[in-house]
Amino acid sequence: MRKHTLVEFATHHPRWVAAITLIITALFCTQFPRITLDTNPKNMLPPDSAVRVWNDEIEQTFRLYEDTIVVAVHNDEGVLNLKTLGKIHQVTEQILAIEGVAARDLVSFNTIDHISADSEGLDVAPLMSEAPTTTAALETLRAKLIGNPLFTDRIISEDETMAALYVPLEEGANGKQVADNIRAIIAAQESGDDFYVAGDPVVRDTFGADMFTMMGLFAPIAGMIMFIAILWMFSSLPLAMSMMAVAMVSILCSMGLLIGLGFPVHIMSSMAPVFLMAIATDSIHIFNEFYHRYRSGGNKQQAIHETLDAVSRPVRYTAFATAAGFAVLLFMEIIPVQVFGGVIVFGTLLLRLLSFTLIPALLMMMDEKKILAAVARENSKQQASTHWLIKLAGIGVNHPKKIIAVGAVMMGISVVGITQITINNNLVEWFTKNSEVRIADEKINQSLSGTASGYIVAIAPQAEGIKTPEAMQYLDGLQRHLESLPEVGKTFSIVDYVKRINRVLHEDDADFYVIPTDADTIAQYLFLFGMSAKQSDLDNVVDYPFQQANIWLQLKTWDAEAMRTVIRAVENYQQQNPIDLEFKPAGTAYFNVVWNDEVLWDMLKGFILALLVVFILLAFNFRSIRWALIGYIPLLFTIMMIYAVIGFTGKDFDMPISVLSCLSLGMAVDFSIHFISRLRQRMEETATTGETLADNLLWTAVRPGKGIMRNAILFAAAFSVMMFAPLTPYITVGAFILSMMLVSALTTLIYLPALILLFQRWLFVKKALPDTRSSASAVTSIGEGA
């Protein structure tokens, strides 16, 4: 029996080990009061990244705000009635007073400028400085609104059933807090109208708040279910508490380290506790083997050493495989991706350290009478579990060729499904369909121009270049081209102001809603407008050298593909209609495209690299390329099956899926490592007994296989509760882990024995194997020996 220094110390000084662990964990926990959240995708990219620098430059040039909340009021009979307009006026005035609202640029009936002409020339005044109180005033307002392209589908729907307010936020304002204040204002209004609150800051900051709640709710619930499951499996309260203690120590220390180093909890790192709890379940193999050893010997300390002597190698290498899968993320370019990878690597290695220190110490501190009683209860359940594990493994052992053939067909089908996967991210869809946030977004997108926003910035080669009729007409044509896309609800630019001015100065004749052909006329219009309008009206659409113009885009969806479609449409329009103007995308929607590409593709590259690293680890662990290939197949099978389902069901490869990819590597390969390591160990032990390869495969399916199935069922049951969460990333985590654990376990116990039998002469090139058929006596003894 090999001696492990850490185990020796832990079994001789268990109370010291427990005390030291408790003190260290408490020190990490002191960092939790400093916790901060960050759900802004912008911060996923480094501050010096090109897209962040460009976006910041555009916001400064055009005096734009990064975040805007959209508030909509809906009335089936139409919003242009005295009561509803009174509400809109009152709500607007109260929103203007909310802390964090950029009141100067708020757009609503109260504040938006109406351009008309009078005897003295151009007249620019608020559309509705006061709510109308008479029918005549109402009709006057209607005449201003209806048919005016500056207003239609922007602040009022074409069917007049919905009106909108656009509430920009000051830098640093919390979208959820402002949205909650707006909802409180709305709640105080009389019934009769439906209000909706949407927009990127609402979605993002609400998700952040809900994410924090989910961390505090579902992780403990999952932990409780795990605790109950362990208690049922091992019939021992101290043992169940010990296993959960190991998981909690790893989670608390890892998250404490994250916070202590000054990193905020991001969308990715918020899932770290879930992942670490999953990885912690690998210690079930230690407890599973301990029961067998203790039942055989009866000496607790000896049983602990024999247990870790038997499982230490697979336990170490499963940890290394998992850590390697996440360590690859440390070499990615996105800081939160690096942080997430580092947290999981730290937690995984800590778990393995605890496997050789805290777990032996806790086992030594357990009352031997209680352990003996638990072992006795385990013995009573042994026969049933042995029977069905033998039957399960027997499928692969008795029909290897058929199983391999079926697996090959399924992998072929999986390839088809994987090719249908789309990489996309939509933060709104991280809420369930019945959530208030998602309903509001859908309702507004149905009636108005859309809650998603982006920009196309036109850059002329010299100052005053935007003022030319050619440039103006080109922008007008480009806008109409973009508005023909189903993803685009509306566009808006300086062109719309010029066309409106031209019309009202020609007695509101619709034929004059065009760009003047004379440059001096355009310059005069812009001068008049600049003297009469709010400064922000021109600030937001053009720079003062008139060298850059900003085309506002309102999109019907937050899908990254929507803005990508816009960018392609701009490029195509340029190719078909060449002009000496440069066009560059910007804004939140464009940032989502870059974030989608750089972060998700970064994760995908890391996943592919991790596949290679895990294979190298397998080869190093088994000291054989051949065994590494065989052990690698269940991993590939599991991953391909799950991702094929993603492709066939149309589920996007988004942030939660990309994060889970790394977990799937570690968890899916763990079972192969345990199975093959223990099989080879068993074959060395029975080399002179005449047991066949089939006998040893069945023994492995029963002995470590029991731990494999317990691990899979335990975790699948615990995290299936997350499928009832109000956030789809947590639902995805629950469904993904449930399917991954069960598919991986079944593949290991059925497909892996079939592979080993079919390729035995290739694997055991230096050994002459006895008859591969299992003997009746050996099968009978498996249950007794297990």
Is 370 or 522 the better-scoring residue by pLDDT?
A: 522
Q: What is the pLDDT of residue 314?
A: 83
Q: What is the pLDDT of residue 670?
A: 82
In this model, does residue 198 exceed pLDDT 60? Answer: yes
Q: What is the pLDDT of residue 203?
A: 86
Dist CA 466 CA 548 (whole Å): 7
Dist CA 206 CA 175 (whole Å): 8
Give the 3-state secondary structure of 319-332: HHHHHHHHHHHHHC
Task: Give the largest CA-CA distance in the chain.
Answer: 111
Residues forming a β-bridge with 653: 423
Q: What is the pLDDT of residue 297?
A: 64
pLDDT band, residue 537 (cuts 50/70/90)? confident
Task: Looking at mean pLDDT, say which of 376-380, 446-450, 529-533 comes out highest.
Answer: 446-450
End-to-end CA distance of the chain, in Å?
Answer: 20
Number of residues in the chain: 786
Is 664 or 91 the better-scoring residue by pLDDT?
A: 91
* Cα pseudo-dihedral 140, 144, 145, 149, rounded to 10: 170
Q: What is the pLDDT of residue 4?
A: 62
Q: Give which of 705, 733, 395, 554 is closest to 68, Cα–Cα.
A: 554
Q: What is the pLDDT of residue 485?
A: 96
Give the chain's count of helices (H) and strands (E). 30, 9
Q: What is the mean pLDDT of residues 272-282?
A: 80
Q: What is the mean pLDDT of residues 93-102?
A: 94
- Tell me the H-state helices in 13-166: 14-29, 50-61, 82-96, 135-145
Dist CA 552 CA 449 (whole Å): 11
Q: DSSP secondary structure string, 737-770?
A: HHHHHHHHHHIIIIIHHHHHHHTHHHH-TT----
Q: What is the mean pLDDT of residues 305-328?
A: 83
What integer best gives the mean pLDDT of the chain?
86
The topology (CATH level 3) of 1-30+235-366 is Multidrug efflux transporter AcrB transmembrane fold (1.20.1640)
Count of beta carbons in the 10 Å neighbourhood of residue 774:
22
Q: In what order do the strands lie in the sheet with 162-168?
A: 162-168, 68-74, 194-198
Q: What is the pLDDT of residue 768?
A: 43
pLDDT (tens digit, 9 = 90+) per residue, 151-190? 999 999 999 999 999 999 998 888 888 999 999 999 999 8
pTM: 0.79
pLDDT (tens digit, 9 = 90+) per residue, 204-223? 888 877 877 777 777 778 77
Q: What is the pLDDT of residue 776?
A: 43
> Do the beta carbons of residue 725 and residue 218 sit within 8 Å?
yes
Least confident of 77-86, 446-455, 658-667: 658-667
Q: What is the pLDDT of residue 649?
A: 86
Q: Is the dihedral of CA 523, 527, 528, 533 positive or negative?
A: positive
Q: What is the mean pLDDT of residues 686-709?
A: 85
DSSP H/E element including 691: none
Structure tokens at 97: 């007073």
Residue pointed to by tokens 């139409």:
78
Dist CA 317 CA 355 (whole Å): 13
Is 328 or 481 the better-scoring residue by pLDDT?
A: 481
Dist CA 609 CA 603 (whole Å): 10
Same fold across 1-30+235-366 and 380-432+624-786: yes
> Do the beta carbons of residue 497 and residue 590 sit within 8 Å?
no
Dist CA 397 CA 675 (whole Å): 14
Dist CA 290 CA 332 (whole Å): 40
State the burial class of residue 376 (Cβ atoms within 10 Å of its Cβ: 0-12, 13-18, 19+): exposed
In this model, does residue 381 exceed pLDDT 70? Answer: no
Structure tokens at 164: 């909108």
pLDDT band, residue 662 (cuts 50/70/90)? low
DSSP H/E element including 515: none
pLDDT (tens digit, 9 = 90+) per residue, 673-690? 889 988 988 888 887 777
Dist CA 314 CA 176 (whole Å): 47
Q: What is the pLDDT of residue 162?
A: 96
Q: How far is CA 242 from the centre of its chain?
A: 31
Least confident of 337-341, 455-459, 755-759, 768-772: 768-772
Q: DSSP secondary structure string, 593-660?
A: HHHIIIIIHHHHHHHHHHHHHHHHHHHHHHT-HHHHHHHHHHHHHHHHHHHHHHHHHT--B-HHHHHH
pLDDT (tens digit, 9 = 90+) per residue, 594-608? 877 776 777 777 778
Q: Give which of 525, 542, 567, 530 is closest to 465, Cα–Cα.
A: 542
Packing angle of the helix pair 300-327, 335-355 (nearest 10 deg): 170
pLDDT (tens digit, 9 = 90+) per residue, 406-437? 989 999 999 999 889 887 878 888 888 889 99
Residues forming a β-bridge with 194: 74
Q: What is the pLDDT of residue 298?
A: 62
Residue pointed to by tokens 């080869």:
619
In three-state secondary structure terms, 109 is: coil
pLDDT (tens digit, 9 = 90+) per residue, 12-48? 999 999 999 999 999 999 999 998 877 676 777 777 8
Dist CA 537 CA 494 (whole Å): 9
Residue 765: φ, ψ to 5°:
-65, -25
Residue 275: φ, ψ to 5°:
-65, -45
The tally of CA atoms less than 13 A away on the side-chain side of residue 543 is 16
Count of beta carbons in the 10 Å neighbourhood of residue 414:
21
In this model, does residue 771 exceed pLDDT 70? Answer: no
Dist CA 294 CA 288 (whole Å): 10
Q: Is the dihedral of CA 346, 348, 354, 356 positive or negative?
A: negative
In three-state secondary structure terms, 668 is: helix
In this model, does residue 584 exceed pLDDT 50? Answer: yes
> In this prediction, what percent of the chain has a pLDDT beyond 90?
40
Q: DSSP secondary structure string, 438-503?
A: HHHHHHHHHHSS-SEEEEEEEE-SSTTGGGSHHHHHHHHHHHHHHHTSTTEEEEE-HHHHHHHHHH
Residue pointed to by tokens 């933060």:
427
pLDDT (tens digit, 9 = 90+) per residue, 282-307? 788 888 788 778 777 667 888 888 88
In this model, does residue 772 exceed pLDDT 60? Answer: no
In this model, does residue 777 exceed pLDDT 50? Answer: no
Domain spans in the chain, listed from the N-terminal domain onward: 1-30+235-366, 64-205, 380-432+624-786, 436-592
Packing angle of the helix pair 82-96, 175-187 (nearest 10 deg): 140
In three-state secondary structure terms, 151 is: coil
| CA R_g for the chain | 33
Pick one of 1.20.1640.10, 3.40.50.300, 3.10.580.10, 3.40.50.200 as the CATH number of 380-432+624-786: 1.20.1640.10
